[in-house]
Structure 1
Amino acid sequence: MLLKLLISFLIIYINIFSINFSTEEIDWIKDNQKTTFTINAYNPKHIYLYENEAGVLSGVYINFFEKISKETGLNFKFQTLKRDDMLNLLNKGEGDIIFNVSKSINRKKNYNFLPTLNSYTLGVYSKNESLIDIKYLEKYKVGMIPTSSDSLLINQFYPHLNNVISIADNGNFGFWALENNTIDALIGKSSNDILKTYKFTPFENVPPSQLWMAVNKNHPTLEKIITKFKLEFSTKEVADILKNERPYFYRQLLSNQQLLARIKRRYSNIKVLIPDIDDMLPIFYRSKNKYSGYIIDRLEELSKLTGLPIIFTSDSENYDIKAIDSKMFQSNQNKNKQNLYYIPYYKIQIGIFSKHDANFIDSFQGFENKRVGIISFEDIDTNLLNFLHNFDFYKIYPDTTEALNAILRNEVDYIIGDFKIISMGVANKYLENKIKVAGFLGGNNTIGFGIKKDADLAQLVDKLFPNHLAESRILQSELSVSKKLSPNYKYLLLMLSTFFIIIATLFYLLRKATIASKKEKRITKALVESFEAANELNDEDTGNHILRVNLYSKFLAEKLKCSSKFIKEIGEYASLHDVGKIAISDMILKKPGKLTSEEFEEMKKHVIFGKELIKKMQLGSIAENIALYHHEKWNGKGYWFGLSTDAIPLEARIVALADVYDALRQKRVYKDGFTHEVAVEIIKKERGEHFDPALVDIFLIHHKEFDKIFISH
């Protein structure tokens, strides 16, 4: 608890990125608070937008528009449409927003089109896996729904397919015609058959595409607002929504099928065989005596879907699902071995790692006369073993930890294994400066679930795993997120030593507030330097940010020809602009996503706390004004007091510009840094809005000096 409290004292600058609406957009939002905008959805059967068991629309985009409504006060109403009604709206140019439509030249006259998350590939469905050869599609009776996005793509990429049969759309994407043998094959989207009932063969020449959200051109400002929220709607946010929605969505789809009923009759629980490894990040790992990782998330979905508890076991004879069925270089050969059904969930890319001074390798020949370690969770491919017998030395390690320790002890020169798994092992153990990527060997093998004997259970697991293009990409992104499972103790010791300097200095300053001016300033300087040292340790967040803000601010004051006292004080105290954040809750400061309105109101109080703390230090009005007013804006739309123009003290106006420039340039864990040129353009656009026009003019004349300060510090 003490460590957590100390860490919260170190965080003195976390930039809050919220959607920045223009004056026009803000006025439009105010004028349309009582308007209800209708969102029309045709055939909402995807997880992004679907009708739940109660007949209420659910899915990712419900969450998306609820977020817009909560943060703007705008009102939205969803309603489902029949196909003819949707086409009628599109043709007449009516309706506010229409979901899941294709884009055409005629429709562009009345609507602007924004891409949805509903990505797909176009292909051919058939009931018999051996029936259709897509290269000779002209031989078969092929059906397609006319005036659909499918037909637009076919006309563009396969205009010679003139024997396609037009079939009516009765709401099930045309599968009725395939089921009744009216056609041999059906052209459709990969996302249509969510339960994987049919054989799907994609067209090789048609690129992945998406359906669109059509926004009526009568609402151009609404389109801009939706676009801004789409940019903020992160992959992680969508992945979290998908993880919550998927079990309920698939349970609804399976409710009328016998498959789920048979499994629930057959099992009272599902026993999962867990490997004796700790660090197969991000697929599987143990943390605080708890199993976690991508496959654990999928198993939890299976439990929610079936209502059956998952029991983890180490009994290799008594299990239903083997969580990790892998041969690191040969896993595909496990399929149907000993009545074991194989469902892949992870594609392997073989990587080579070494200490930073080793040679880069791009083929097996590079291992000659080298000591090679291999990470394998089970067995090694016989061909690879035969190849390695030609080398003087190789050794097999059961998991990432042992292999990384071996290379650190110089037991081996290189280790081979899955690139992502080893990379995350390196990151989790803070070894980035010691162990580097030394090459790639490719590989098309996979890791998957081994399901013992039961074809129904294998089919259910296969259905649950994402095959819809966008859904799969978003959930698979979880496999690219680095996870830190253990603290970097060396790093924490450095931080702790800084904590004590800061805390001791703060108490000293508060007790000696009436001390002689010269001595007070020396202590203040030590305080500022302590904060700067603490921030340098935390380079993922602020780095040298506060030092650079001092330098930018002093530079601007010099160009304004301010008094020497003003220049000296702003150069010393600009870095204390966010000192009040030490009084803000750690739960708010460290929150990875956007703050709620209540949390943001609490965050804004840091300017009050900062001013009061500096007042007790008796540093003078310039330091106090910087802390209290640096979030005010020239146009009066800042906080805490909503001051505007010259009512904002000059020192606060200067620090505001310096602070924003550096924040734009900085790379954060949740964003990439902007280039100097982009940062300059953003500040230029905010002339007379956020920033004092006179300061922006000086900045534009001398902007290269800002770039030099950023690069050199």
Structure 2
Amino acid sequence: TSDSILTKEFYPDLKNLISIEDNGNFGFSSLENNKIDAIIGKSSNDVFKNYNFIPLKNIPSSQLWLVVNKKYPMLKDIIENFQINFSDKDVVDSLKKERLIFYKQLLKNDPLIDKLKHRYKQLKVLLPTNNEIVPLLYLSKGSYHGYVIDRLKELSYLTDIPINYIQSPNDNYDIKAIDTDVFNIKNKFFIPYYESQLAAFTLTNNNFIDSYSDIKNKKIGFISSEELNKNSIKKIITSNDFKFFKSTKSALNALLNKEIDYLYGDFKIISMSISNEYLENEIKVAGFFNKITPVGFGVKNDSDLADFIDKLFPSHLSESRILYSELVIPKKLSPNYKYFIIMFSMSSIIILTLFYFLRKATIATKKERLITRALVESFEAANELNDEDTGNHILRVNFYSKFLAEKLKCHKKFIKKISEYASLHDIGKIGIPDSILKKPGKLSPYEFEEMKKHVLLGKKLIDKMQLGAIAENIALYHHEKWNGKGYCYGLKENEIPLEARIVAIADVYDALRQKRVYKDGFSHEEAVEIIKKERGQHFDPTLVDIFLAYNEEFNKIFIEH
């Protein structure tokens, strides 16, 4: 596992590392039975508080690598491109689903599941009467959502036990969804999942506060989903005028109506409620306090149920990032009707104005594309006139290159650009003297060095045309070789841009087939054999394999164009 690899790398003095299978108990059973002395990899979520947890601080979270075999160099390019185009949201949504499938498989033989199925036909979960505890719990479109609900759905999925939500504390319940009272009730187990940070909020024209003494004789509101002991709160908030709220919305309204001067409660929950009510310009944070309260599931009397719920929470860094992402992303639960009509009127004017400019921009863009295309065609024509042997060579290179890129399943934009700009690979030859370019015999060493300069001239011309990196790379690097013996920079293997590697094969195949002043043309079969022999020498092996598999398509392009 990545845990064991990183541990061995960053703690080489740790010996006797072994892997264990523990039926989903994360090594705790082996630890209790003295089969092992310590566990590496478990999170600090210990429902029974029986263990000491020491973080391995030497291991950086960034030291995680995706390793691919060097036999498949094209895979590296594909993965790197995939990472750029794949959004974090796609990753999180996918892994949230996959981790459940993983846990279903991991825990299928866990004896706790059979115990719980036998014990419960359904699990009664007590929810607070306040349904606005974003991001933990909230109502949207008539159903419950939030971090707590997601974990309960996972519990139901893994145990096949349905969940029954109740809101009356007088009813008998099995799990209290949002619980903070850890010590006062006997025979109750507490599984934390959230840390509540106490903060104060006030109207924007009120002062910030640094200590509890600053709010003496102020009207204070306190919000919590719990039925808290007001006397114990009084010890924290020394105000003569104190009011308790169970609904976030009613507490914010009291603040707006100046029924209270300051509102105390969890920073994240109140901040998201302010955002959902579009009150950012009217209510601000007035101060933070050191009081951190753990929030979690309260389980009555059943250590087995508590133990199983604990397994739902992340035991690895990647899982933590997946689940905790739900606790940091703001959620807008309803549109802001207050400003809707004003914004609609303003938007209409803006849209009409933008439409006018967009139409002008579209016409200008079309003209720019036509000019660019005309410029490319002019360079192609100039190149053809300069080298009478070229003929349709440059256009066929476009067709070959597009075909190879399609078989590689490259991005559509990449395919489009290489099919347009491959023809410019030798554009720099218009700057090479005719005495060298059209010489019927072998070039002298000096002449060959001069000929090499066409790639540098080509890159400069394309750079001035501002056609982009793909066109520049084709001109500059199409004479580099896979073994590093090409020119001008001696690049090798994946150091050579993919577009240049593709054009290299296309260019050489067509040059072999074509009759030139200094040689006769080769047959298709002869050209195929030459390229085959250069696999891994001149050319990218993966591209040669594609060429060999579809070589008749290349012959067809040569004959028809």
What TM-score does the superposition give when structure 1 sets the normalisation length? 0.48
Equivalent position amino acid for 2:172 in 1: N
Q: Which has the larger radius of gyration?
A: 2
* 2:502 matched residue in structure 1: none
* 1:397 matched residue in structure 2: 245
Equivalent position amino acid for 1:254 in 2: L
2-structure distance, mates of 1:468, 1:204: 13
In the alignment, structure 1 residue 386 sits paired with structure 2 residue 207: no
User: Deviation at 1:435?
Assistant: 0.8
* 1:151 matched residue in structure 2: 8
Matches within 5 A, 1:431-470: 431-470=279-318
2-structure distance, mates of 1:188, 1:633: 64
Equivalent position amino acid for 1:385 in 2: K
* 1:267 matched residue in structure 2: 120
2-structure distance, mates of 1:398, 1:193: 29
Matches within 5 A, 1:605-620: none
In the alignment, structure 1 residue 206 sits paired with structure 2 residue 27: no
User: Deviation at 1:376?
Assistant: 1.6
For 1:202-231, what per-residue CA distance to the aligned partner results, in whole angstroms no more than 9, with x for missing partners?
246434445432234566664354234334
Match of 1:357, SS state, is: coil
Match of 1:223, SS state, is: helix
What TM-score does the superposition give when structure 2 sets the normalisation length? 0.60
Matches within 5 A, 1:252-651: 252-316=105-169, 317-326=171-180, 331-333=181-183, 337-380=185-228, 382-388=231-237, 390-498=238-346, 529-532=350-353, 573=356, 575-577=357-359, 625-626=363-364
User: Deviation at 1:465?
Assistant: 2.0
* 1:247 matched residue in structure 2: 100
Q: 1:150 to 1:374 in 2, by over 3 A?
A: same
- Contact kept? 1:632, 1:644, Cα under 8 Å: no
Tell me which moved more, 231-240 or 371-380. Answer: 231-240
Q: 1:423 to 1:634 in 2, by over 3 A?
A: farther
For 1:619-656, what per-residue CA distance to the aligned partner results, in whole angstroms no more than 9, with x for missing partners?
xxx666247578899689869x98979xxxxxxxxxxx
- Contact kept? 2:31, 2:39, Cα under 8 Å: no
2-structure distance, mates of 1:416, 1:228: 48
Match of 2:200, SS state, is: strand
User: Which structure features the higher share of strand residues?
Assistant: 1
* 2:436 matched residue in structure 1: none
- Contact kept? 1:269, 1:311, Cα under 8 Å: yes
* 2:550 matched residue in structure 1: none
User: Deviation at 1:471?
Assistant: 0.5
- Contact kept? 2:175, 2:298, Cα under 8 Å: yes
Unaligned runs of at least 5 residues, structure 2:
377-411, 422-462, 473-561
- Contact kept? 1:633, 1:689, Cα under 8 Å: no
Match of 1:481, SS state, is: coil
In the alignment, structure 1 residue 689 sits paired with structure 2 residue 468: yes
Equivalent position amino acid for 2:256 in 1: L
For 1:29-87, what per-residue CA distance to the aligned partner results, in whole angstroms no more than 9, with x for missing partners?
xxxxxxxxxxxxxx6xxxxxxxxxxxxxxxxxxxxxxxxxxxxxxxxxxxxxxxxxxxx
Q: 1:358 to 1:183 in 2, by over 3 A?
A: same
- Contact kept? 1:322, 1:451, Cα under 8 Å: yes
Unaligned runs of at least 5 residues, structure 1:
1-42, 44-99, 101-119, 121-144, 503-528, 533-545, 547-571, 578-621, 646-683, 694-713
2-structure distance, mates of 1:378, 1:484: 24
For 1:386-410, what per-residue CA distance to the aligned partner results, in whole angstroms no more than 9, with x for missing partners?
243x323221111211111111101
1-structure distance, mates of 2:264, 2:464: 51
1-structure distance, mates of 2:330, 2:140: 14
2-structure distance, mates of 1:252, 1:417: 40
- Contact kept? 1:284, 1:294, Cα under 8 Å: yes
- Contact kept? 1:235, 1:474, Cα under 8 Å: no
* 1:82 matched residue in structure 2: none
- Contact kept? 1:284, 1:296, Cα under 8 Å: yes
User: Deviation at 1:180?
Assistant: 10
* 2:89 matched residue in structure 1: 236
Q: 1:251 to 1:685 in 2, by over 3 A?
A: farther
For 1:493-530, what per-residue CA distance to the aligned partner results, in whole angstroms no more than 9, with x for missing partners?
1233357x56xxxxxxxxxxxxxxxxxxxxxxxxxx55
